Amino acid sequence: MFNWFSPSLTRKIGGLSAILLSFLFLVIIYSVHTLQQIDTEMREVAEIDIPLTDVMDEVEILQLHQHLLMEKVEYLDKSTGNQANKHNLIQEFNQFNQQLSQQLDNAVDIVRHGLNNGNIRVDREQHRTFIKEVEKLHQQRQLFEQHFLTAINATHDQFQIWQKVDEQDLVLDSRIESLLKSIENLTEQIASYTEKHERDFLLVNSVLGISALLIGIYLTLYIIQTFRQRIGRLQGQVQILNHSIKTMQPDEVMPDMQKGDDELTELESELKRMMERLSQDLTDREEIQQHLLEIATRDKLTNAYNRHKWDEQIEVELKLAARGSYLSLLLLDVDHFKTINDKYGHDAGDEVLRMLVSRLRSRLRATDHIYRLGGEEFAILLRQIDLGAARVTAEAIRQHIAIISDDNLPAFTVSIGVSCYEHNDDADTLFKRADNALYKAKMSGRNRVEIG
């Protein structure tokens, strides 16, 4: 089923456009149909009703003329008896008769022709009735003429005969009048049909036009609103992405995805995926950097910090100590390491160094760092430890190392020189005191702790 909220933007706009076009199509179809209808009705009025009205007006005028002639003839017949004049008037009367017949035939022809050609669409039945009425009028007129001629030629009861003729003349007048009235009615009827169609045309076209306009406005506003909203969101996300790339900080929170599966949502999810990829890349990069840093600062054999790290860190620790915190240095050297190497081999010597660092770690706090300064010499920095405590720690270490017993490794001992930060010490002076103490320990027989 068509769900308005889920389909793509193209389909939404396409759907609304299709509805809009359908409305316009309906307007066009309806307009063409109604205009055709109005045109047919106007043609019917022009081709049938107007000529018919003209003909019947002509009939009425002729009838009036004939009526006057008849009055004259009647007067002459009754009073003067002027035969020559009467004869002329009768001839004139007959001419009008012919013209009247001709006009009535014309009227019938117009209607019949219209019916046969299909030009008459409105009230065909009433038009057929009109033909019948005209034919009847025709017959009555012929009857009237016969009566008129009889009246002229009558030698007695003239007054009564002329009265009858007058009566028939009146009937004919009223019949013609009613025929004219019926034509007028037909014309009015067609005019009212046309008017109704024009009104409907305006109404339906207005409704369809306004609907199309409203849909068009809605469609435009919907597109503008949607694009502004969604593109605003996308701009925000692109800015977040941009900022993350600039600062190399992928921890910016992307807004939640909008529901739907249109093109802009796809673009949004693509941006989200890019952000995730960037985040992953930056994490990987950080891990690699961390790893490289480890490699750069650690001794490969023992994993203790190397001399490079020592040079860096001692300055940091000295600054902290200068602010008032204790800092002690243990300088540790394996006794007779050369002999171990010579006697048990270089690999065994390596293993001794590895084990030494591992044991030292187990005796120290996490904040006490071990540095391999070269060969079998190590430095240990003890934070927040004064000289006395450092000596105790050094002694504990020495004893712990001396009692190691491992079947695979030779027993060995260490000598330790201890120094503690003093006012205005630098790396050299602090180191020197520890080194002197170590020297003293070596000179005093090794496996000893000495204070510098």
Ligand X SMILES: Nc1nc2c(ncn2[C@@H]2O[C@H](COP(=O)(O)OP(=O)(O)OP(=O)(O)O)[C@@H](O)[C@H]2O)c(=O)[nH]1
Residues forming the site for ligand X (CB under 6 A): 301, 333-339, 341, 346, 349-350, 375-376, 442, 446
The amino acid occupying position 143 is: L
248: left (phi over 0), alpha (psi -120 to 50) or beta: left
CA distance 76 to 152: 10
Token digits for 178? 């009613």
Contact 128, 48 (CB under 8 A): no
- Helix, strand and coil content of the chain, in percent to the nearest 5, comes to 75, 5, 20
CB of 336 to ligand X, least distance (A): 5
Q: Report the residue closest to ligand X, judged by CB.
A: 349
Which CB atom, from 217 or from 301, has the smaller least distance to ligand X? 301
CB of 372 to ligand X, least distance (A): 9
CA distance 369 to 392: 17
At residue 446, the 3 state secondary structure works out as coil
CB of 396 to ligand X, least distance (A): 21
Q: What is the DSSP letter of 304?
A: S
Which CB atom, from 137 or from 397, has the smaller least distance to ligand X? 397
Catalytic residue positions? 376
CA distance 155 to 214: 88
Helix extents (H) in 45-123: 50-78, 83-117
Phi, psi (5° rounding) for residue 431?
-65, -45
CA distance 417 to 439: 7
